[in-house]
Structure 1
């Protein structure tokens, strides 16, 4: 028993004992003090952290929606999962657990909204209710549960693909995910990567892919495509590698560090047989800020089911430790970094890793497009001029350089490009980008 629960129980026992003895002495109705004590004790139990933990586990089990019959109790020694390195196994299981806990965690936030709402006066609550606020919260609850249905599909697909058993979950016995922030972030990337409806200018990656393909066409002739290897680190949900693989390059390697992003990307190629409703996500139901209407907040994205190109290989890997499986098969290599280099804890490690990867090749190219929005604790934060100096110092020669604020990717654009931005929101996030194509 934890300290919080022990103190709460002792204080309740002491308080109710005093109350019972006092009321028994003052009241002629001997049943009333007993009923009051039982009522107080009953209200104390839900406040125990051990009780909350138990309810959370039960909800997780209920909401996961995973048919226990599909998961063997113990894994096969030679299962796909058991053949993976420990860190990859841990990342995959952590991702699966986060997916299972999504609805539980977000319904806690929904319950908190309702508790805060009830703190207003009756008149204030009634006015907001007439405006449709409670109806909106009910709609959000429904859509959160629909998101969980989709996540259950991803979990089931992943468990089957890796031959995961219940015993494999022991690798993360102390796993905690109380917010589902990483799952929510990954869901928003479906609109960035896999929104196939380009009629309303929703496809954020369009200009980025155009820049990459334009630079590739200038350095890799069509005849050399089969002899060219492309590496895309920080590939997210994988749209850029997918589009490049369709262009006929010999090898395209998608490298992603996040288990959640990786499993979502795999699911796009799972050819899951499911109802369309289960392959639909609602990425904007996690906040009530900056919306014009419920219709904007409840928009959905239909997840495509595609054939994985045969020349596309996917890697759950830290780019700094990634090695090409067979670099001798191609004579050209192109490293494509899109919205990636500013994610580094140590940008110099990324640069060293790029230089190491290109060593075996006759012709090496590096195409970059993205902002310079460094994280909270980077070891170095370089501006565009400093990066240009470093490229020269490391042996790269720039063939093309752009600052989209001065030279947009396409004529008529304003040079600002969004990243996981809801274009129907009152808040918009846009970046000017730095881009280059360099040869070594």
Structure 2
């Protein structure tokens, strides 16, 4: 997921935060598997970080009923994924350093646990700046809009968002079997070294609840998801539940696209995400899956582009639909290494706001080809917003030319997915909004590129 960009607990939630950007991890880090890959194939670029009827009271702190909680699915696919995950989380797997999956998990837990603390610093800074205006100016503002009271109101809402973060941490520690002693030891080590909790990665991961799992986010999902669903239905019009179509969605973020594909029926979906900030947020909602069971205040961290104070402080609830993970499994880790044993396995790979997040785009392309069955399909929709330090930055035309040389054949697609980008190439353009806040006085959108390419029938 670009941000170009849960399993067994009675925890509850309420979500958060802002900054319009493209994915989630603030720091470019390398999965332990990369230590065996000198090419550092797919380390996400840092561009990724820069991409209800109101019931009485807030849902924060509400008791989640047993009906809203699901244990981790026990299908063979889920069992296999869990075994791989448990193995990768062992300290003895690979080298123990900042790139180890367990280390990255502990870093993410640290980030969520310090959400309020990190946000309060910024709130105090904003409040301090207010003191620089004249007494007369302050008097006018206080009389007309009671400006200083906004600080205490937002402080209270930040604390409510911290409740959500605490529940995400609690669930993650249970799911990944992280004890308090281990976590606190990790926190002390980080604090002793002067390392601050990662505010940006936490806020971006939480912000994706808006895009993926709220009614507000539907305005951003509508056009692009419609194009993708129509395409998949067209590619696989007759599906057999006994032999479902195997779909891979790398860079899945908080997983909504994968779940919507699964809802079509006849698809077994594997979603893949590298960011532990994203993964523990997804694990939480996967386990605590009751519709409209959690609430949060996602826009209180940013003071710009609000038409009203109510827009800034409004509460959103999620998920906007119930979640069934039976046909969706999350495979955590680096896209280019997580599927080393899945050569020729998938019928279709759907890359959505993803391919430009690679450190090495060519390794992404190699992996897409590798995991597809002969004559399998690659469906892409997203921008080409390369981050800092990518090994290669191809134009759209160059991507088409290179992948055709790799054995991909570009297919005709429905004009409902936008006009052709340029003559002679079967690639379409469509506007894809990526801003999180549908009421903001600004708009962030990409001229996203859509195509369907078929892998060569040769093994």
Pairs within 5 Å for 1:16-415: 83=90, 85=93, 87-130=100-143, 131-169=145-183, 170-171=185-186, 173-174=189-190, 176-178=195-197, 180-195=199-214, 197=215, 202-223=218-239, 226-271=243-288, 276=293, 279-304=294-319, 306-323=322-339, 333-358=347-372, 361-400=373-412, 406=419, 415=430
Greater RCO, 1 or 2 (C-alpha within 8 Å, sep 6+):
2
Q: Which runs of 5+ in 2 are unaligned?
A: 1-60, 62-84, 422-428
Q: CA deviation at 1:323?
A: 0.9
SS in 1 for 2:410: strand
**Residue 15 of structure 1 corresponds to which residue in structure 2?**
none
Mean Cα deviation higher: 396-405 or 242-251: 396-405
Closer, same or farther: CA 238–417 of 1 in aligned 2, 3 Å: same
**Residue 433 of structure 2 corresponds to which residue in structure 1?**
418
Structure with more helix by fraction: 1
Q: Is the 8 A contact 1:191 1:203 kept in 2?
A: no
Q: Is the 8 A contact 1:229 1:250 kept in 2?
A: yes
Q: Distance in 2 between matches of 1:256 and 1:295?
A: 34
1:316-373 Cα distance to aligned partner (Å, 9 max, x none): 2111212166668x6x521100011111122111111112212xx2431100001111
Q: CA deviation at 1:246?
A: 2.0
Q: Distance in 1 between matches of 2:414 and 2:366?
A: 23
TM-score, normalised via structure 2 length? 0.70
SS in 2 for 1:229: strand
Q: Distance in 1 between matches of 2:374 and 2:386?
A: 33
Q: CA deviation at 1:257?
A: 0.8
Q: CA deviation at 1:240?
A: 0.6
Q: Distance in 1 between matches of 2:434 and 2:287?
A: 26
Q: Distance in 2 between matches of 1:273 and 1:356?
A: 37
Q: Distance in 2 between matches of 1:324 and 1:194?
A: 31
TM-score, normalised via structure 1 length? 0.72
Mean Cα deviation higher: 172-181 or 288-297: 172-181
Q: CA deviation at 1:301?
A: 2.1
SS in 1 for 2:401: helix
Q: Distance in 2 between matches of 1:362 and 1:272?
A: 36
Q: Is the 8 A contact 2:339 2:371 kept in 1?
A: yes
SS in 1 for 2:302: coil
Q: Which runs of 5+ in 1 are unaligned?
A: 1-64, 66-78, 409-413
Q: Distance in 2 between matches of 1:186 and 1:267?
A: 12
Q: Distance in 2 between matches of 1:399 and 1:337?
A: 16
Q: Distance in 2 between matches of 1:428 and 1:151?
A: 28
**Residue 10 of structure 2 corresponds to which residue in structure 1?**
none
Q: Distance in 1 between matches of 2:273 and 2:412?
A: 26
Q: Is the 8 A contact 1:396 1:438 kept in 2?
A: yes
Q: Distance in 1 between matches of 2:414 and 2:291?
A: 44
Closer, same or farther: CA 203–267 of 1 in aligned 2, 3 Å: farther
Q: CA deviation at 1:107?
A: 0.6
Closer, same or farther: CA 228–324 of 1 in aligned 2, 3 Å: farther
Q: Distance in 1 between matches of 2:181 and 2:209?
A: 31
Q: CA deviation at 1:105?
A: 0.6
Q: Is the 8 A contact 1:188 1:420 kept in 2?
A: no
State the Cα RMSD in Å. 2.9
**Residue 49 of structure 1 corresponds to which residue in structure 2?**
none
Q: CA deviation at 1:171?
A: 5.0
Q: Distance in 1 between matches of 2:181 and 2:337?
A: 28
1:87-122 Cα distance to aligned partner (Å, 9 max, x none): 221121111110001100101111111222112222
Q: Distance in 2 between matches of 1:251 and 1:324?
A: 19
Q: Distance in 1 between matches of 2:259 and 2:206?
A: 18
